[in-house]
Amino acid sequence: MSEQQNVYPVREDIAANAWADEATYQAMYQQSVDDPEGFWAEQAKRLDWIKAPTRIKNTSFARDNVDIRWFEDGQLNVSANCLDRHLEKRGDQTAIIWEGDDPNDSKHISYRELYERTNQLANGLKELGVGKGDTVTLYMPMIPEAAMAMLACARIGAVHSVVFGGFSPDAVAQRVIGADSKLVITADESVRGGKQVPLKDNVDAALTRDGTDVCKNVLVVKRTGGDIEWKEGRDLWFGDLVDKQSTECEPEAMGAEDPLFILYTSGSTGAPKGLKHTTGGYLTFAAMTHQYVFDYQDGEVYWCTADVGWVTGHSYIVYGPLANGATTLMFEGVPSYPTHGRMGDIVDKHNVNILYTAPTAVRALMAHGENVMDSSKRDSLRLLGSVGEPINPEAWEWFYRVIGNEKCPIVDTWWQTETGGIMISPLPGATPLKPGSATKPFFGVQPALVDNEGNLLEGAAEGNLVILDAWPGQARSIWGDHDRFVQTYFSTYDNMYFTGDGCRRDEDGYYWITGRVDDVLNVSGHRMGTAEIESSLVAHSAVAEAAVVGFPHDIKGQGIYIYVTLNDEIDPTDELKKELTQWVRKDIGPIASPDVIQWAPGLPKTRSGKIMRRILRKIAANECDGLGDTSTLADPSVVDELIEHRVNQ
Ligand code: WT7
């Protein structure tokens, strides 16, 4: 089917000036896998090192010894690479264009201003007793202070852990405890789509939870001036701490393998895990991918619409672009406010050249028709990017035609929180595009497909996506739980990193990601574990048992479908459905809002008591004819009952 799709050849105007054309890509890719040491030693030179590395690659994927080190004897500072080294040439160039939620609110921050403010904050953090190796939790709006906070931590060698501003107080508490954070940086409120979100209130609530007393201070940016509670001795205003500080702060010399940040993400089991990313390899990879995948040219305005709470924001709003001396746009609001044309309006207002967004945003626009972008021309655009979930060919074509005016290549970038940076993606000057395919591996990345037994599949095939050797940007561990890291990623198949994704490779060697093969959901590009939602539900006194599955959703990609078995004597009312919806939103955050709740007097289980999710997924997707073999169920009749009362979405 997809083989008959359109192929978009490389545009000559792009290839002529691109960092890599087809021949360059081939040659560099070959070198990157034949001689990774030589290749990455050369690439590390894109950074300023305090001590240049001599030991380049020292990595093992063996399950009894998972140990990943890049540039291990090198020393550098990430903030110095993102700021100091640009001052001479581009001190007055805009580093960050900030576009507020309100379309009349925007500002430009130069590299010099960003440098000075970051240093002041770094000195402020030191005054609070934060130093090398300490962890700091950030729970912030999309404002420049979020980037400053990340960079200030990096400057003094503190490890940041950014928590997405849409998560609940419990999620904040869990992460403060998990990372042992002595400081939380937040704002009074964030503003999204004209509405205030009470960040400081949420932090207050989080810090009443048991175990959070590790946290000694809360630093608060005044964003809205809204009413907040104040805890003397613990809470401090950002301005009060920072304004008085010196604008010079010596960057800490960090080992290449010292941690830079922790970022929590969901897996198929258990609580979210804090991936540990380190310094030298991460920044080399973030900077290189940003340059090549987006073909970033000096002076261009680049906009990634993600939130800094996700890895995309880390690598492609902050670290990659700033390491490259780019102008990066940071948007506080949502694409639908005040109108659905907002994204295009922002492109025109700031002459954006490169727009990196998510399939769910494209599909949401598509739903509003061909004219949804008519308030803007978007002539400045040169390149488009997609990330977070598979982009269906219809959405790809619409993105290309309506947003990009049929002149911008689309880079569909496959990667993960764990990979630190882009792994499979076209290069705009090198790769003919096939809508829906992430196409080819980036330099140094060796993808492969295996069957369920771990046998490598050759040629055109479909299987589980693994990566055969280490790359500099990958996570090194799970914070405080290396065994879980090994278990999750290196135990399914010998000597391979297992991605959790299914994938097809076509006869041209193009990769087509088919989605998760584990119990992880991807709702609007947000990753969630079914187990997390289930454990939230069973904590409600009315609930005996719950099973959560994804189902195809036109805009979100996947929706959340929940089967709930109630305790005896509890009435299955619509009121209770609403209550359970609120319960999950409060517990995890609005992104985990159930789309459908179905009462399930019984769940399909094997005789050993294991829930057959395969069947529940089929029912949720309304594919009730193809349920397959149900004879192994303890009680096959529960399936008929569920089909009969299936809830239409
Ligand atoms: C999962 C990772 C990568 C940063 C944002 C998400 C899915 C991501 C694509 C893509 C198909 C994609 C995968 C992956 N995914 N990008 N271009 N095509 N699927 O990071 O939250 O760690 O989620 O998102 O399933 O495993 P994340």
Domains in the chain with CATH codes: 12-504 (3.40.50.12780), 524-645 (3.30.300.30)
Lowest mean pLDDT, pick from 94-98, 233-237, 311-315, 637-641: 637-641
Q: Which atom of ligand 1 is nearest to the CA of 312?
A: 4
Tokens of 533: 């939602």
Cα dihedral angle (567, 572, 574, 579), rounded to 10 degrees? -10
Report, as an integer, the average pLDDT of 14-42.
97
Best of 416, 488, 498, 499 to mutate for ligand 1, by most ligand atoms within 8 A of CB?
416
DSSP 611-639: B-HHHHHHHHTT-GGG----TTBS-THHH
pLDDT of residue 49: 98
Decide if 258 contacts 17 (C-beta within 8 A). Answer: no
259 beta partners: 278
Between CA 257 and CA 279 the distance in angstroms is: 6
- pLDDT tens digits, residue range 43-73? 999 999 999 999 999 999 999 999 999 999 9
413 beta partners: 387
Best of 389, 418, 423, 517 to mutate for ligand 1, by most ligand atoms within 8 A of CB?
389
Q: How many CB atoms lie within 10 A of CB 224?
A: 16
For atom 18 of ligand 1, the residue with the nearest CA is 390
Binding residue ranges for CoA? 192-195, 312, 524, 585
Between CA 489 and CA 474 the distance in angstroms is: 12
Q: How many CB atoms lie within 10 A of CB 33?
A: 15
Query: What does the DSSP 8-state code read for residue 400?
Result: I
Between CA 215 and CA 219 the distance in angstroms is: 11
Q: Phi and psi for 411 in degrees, rounded to 5?
A: -95, 110
Of the two residues 612 and 290, the one the predictor is more confident about is 290
Report, as an integer, the average pLDDT of 272-277.
96
Q: Which atom of ligand 1 is nearest to the CA of 499?
A: 26
Angle at 58 between CA 56 and CA 64, to 5 degrees: 170
Distance 502 CA to ligand 1 centre (A): 12
Task: Tell me, yes or no, if the pTM score tops 0.90.
Answer: yes
For atom 7 of ligand 1, the residue with the nearest CA is 389
Comparing C-alpha atoms, which of 127, 218, 131 is closest to residue 172?
A: 218
pLDDT of residue 636: 84
Distance 388 CA to ligand 1 centre (A): 4
Distance 547 CA to ligand 1 centre (A): 23
Q: Which atom of ligand 1 is nearest to the CA of 311?
A: 4
Mean pLDDT of the chain: 96
Distance 320 CA to ligand 1 centre (A): 18
Distance 415 CA to ligand 1 centre (A): 5
Q: How confident is the model at residue 508 (pLDDT cuts 50, 70, 90)?
A: very high
Binding residue ranges? 192-195, 312, 388-390, 412-417, 501, 516, 524, 527, 538, 540, 543, 585
Tokens of 357: 């967004």
Residue type, 476: R
Residues 6+ apart with CB under 8 A from 122: 79, 152, 153, 155, 156, 249
pLDDT at 649 over 80: no
Best of 510, 513, 517, 558 to mutate for ligand 1, by most ligand atoms within 8 A of CB?
513
Q: Which atom of ligand 1 is nearest to the CA of 500?
A: 26
Decide if 185 contacts 151 (C-beta within 8 A). Answer: no
For atom 1 of ligand 1, the residue with the nearest CA is 416
Tell me the pairing of strands 106-110 and 94-99: antiparallel
For atom 2 of ligand 1, the residue with the nearest CA is 416
Q: Which atom of ligand 1 is nearest to the CA of 520?
A: 25
pLDDT at 514 over 50: yes
Secondary-structure percent of the chain, ordered helix, strand, coil, rounded to 5: 35, 25, 40
pLDDT of residue 369: 94
Distance 389 CA to ligand 1 centre (A): 5
Between CA 23 and CA 429 the distance in angstroms is: 10
Query: What does the DSSP 8-state code read for residue 167?
Result: S
Half-sphere exposure for 23 (CA within 13 Å, toward CB): 1
pLDDT of residue 1: 42
Decide if 432 contacts 297 (C-beta within 8 A). Answer: no
Token pair 């890049």: residue: 70
- How far is the CA of 101 from the CAs of 90, 106, 141, 360, 381, in angstroms? 28, 9, 10, 20, 22
pLDDT at 2 over 80: no
- How far is the CA of 311 from the CAs of 205, 318, 630, in angstroms? 25, 10, 40
Between CA 602 and CA 384 the distance in angstroms is: 47
pLDDT at 3 over 60: no
For atom 20 of ligand 1, the residue with the nearest CA is 416
Between CA 287 and CA 358 the distance in angstroms is: 21
pLDDT of residue 4: 54
Q: Which atom of ligand 1 is nearest to the CA of 422?
A: 3
Comparing C-alpha atoms, which of 65, 289, 264 is closest to residue 164?
A: 264
Pocket of ligand 1 (CB under 6 A): 265, 310-312, 387-390, 412-417, 438, 499-501, 513, 515-516, 522, 527
Between CA 457 and CA 51 the distance in angstroms is: 42
Between CA 604 and CA 615 the distance in angstroms is: 8
pLDDT at 5 over 80: no
Query: What does the DSSP 8-state code read for residue 335?
Result: T
Between CA 99 and CA 532 the distance in angstroms is: 34
Angle at 1 between CA 356 and CA 508, to 5 degrees: 70
Between CA 613 and CA 632 the distance in angstroms is: 13
Distance 315 CA to ligand 1 centre (A): 14
Distance 607 CA to ligand 1 centre (A): 35
For atom 12 of ligand 1, the residue with the nearest CA is 389
Binding residue ranges for Mg(2+)? 538, 540, 543
Residues 6+ apart with CB under 8 A from 630: 604, 612, 615, 636, 639
pLDDT of residue 327: 98
Between CA 394 and CA 359 the distance in angstroms is: 10
Calculate what percentage of the chain has a pLDDT beyond 90. 93
Q: Which atom of ligand 1 is nearest to the CA of 513?
A: 11
Q: Phi and psi for 463 in degrees, rounded to 5?
A: -170, -155
- pLDDT tens digits, residue range 132-177? 999 999 999 999 999 999 999 999 999 999 999 999 999 999 999 9
Between CA 40 and CA 31 the distance in angstroms is: 10
Sign for the CA dihedral angle at 428, 432, 437, 443 comes to negative
Q: Which atom of ligand 1 is nearest to the CA of 424?
A: 17
